[in-house]
Amino acid sequence: MHAPKRTVALATAALTLGGLFAAGAGPAAAAPAKASVSKPAAATSAVNTVGAADLSAQARRCDWPRVCFYRGNTYKAAYKDWGYQLLGPRGRSSNVIVNSRYDDGARIYLMRHNGTGRHWECAKPRRVYSVRPGWKPYAINIRNSPSCR
């Protein structure tokens, strides 16, 4: 049996997202640099959810079961295997991340452009995120948990 279209579900999920990712929030200063990779506090989020208008265009181009990376509206890379993977140069240059998976979260590992400060964000299933200025993704860990545990 084929899965239903995801565009409406993705838009609904993005609009109801709360907590760590603030929908429509502008770029904010991140926490001071840390030596280890850790889960950030809400105030240090390096990604935002993308609004419903931008969501449908991205969601149509990211086939299930992938986590796709875009630079603006330009497709760069996609990952579908579970586990930790370093991003290639195309994925590292992205600023939009789409998780088209139905029930698997993806830890997106990010670092500041100047190389200081590293942490991860949870890209929950069926959602679209934008990377805040000053940050870049460098690895992904697709997990069998919607909350990235």
The whole-number pLDDT of residue 31 equals 29
| Contact present, 129 and 68 (Cβ < 8 Å) | no
**43-72: pLDDT as tens digits:** 456 776 555 445 555 555 788 899 999 998
> Percent of the chain scored above 90 by pLDDT?
48
Q: Residues 6 or more apart from 6 whose CB is under 8 A from it? A: 59, 64, 100, 126
- Beta carbons within 8 Å of 71's beta carbon, 6+ residues apart: 93, 94, 95, 96
Two tokens, residue 33: 């640099």
| 3-50 tens-digit pLDDT | 444 333 333 333 333 322 333 322 232 222 333 454 544 445 677 655
| pTM (two decimals) | 0.65
The span from the CA of 109 to the CA of 86, in Å, is 9
One-letter amino acid for residue 79 of the chain? Y
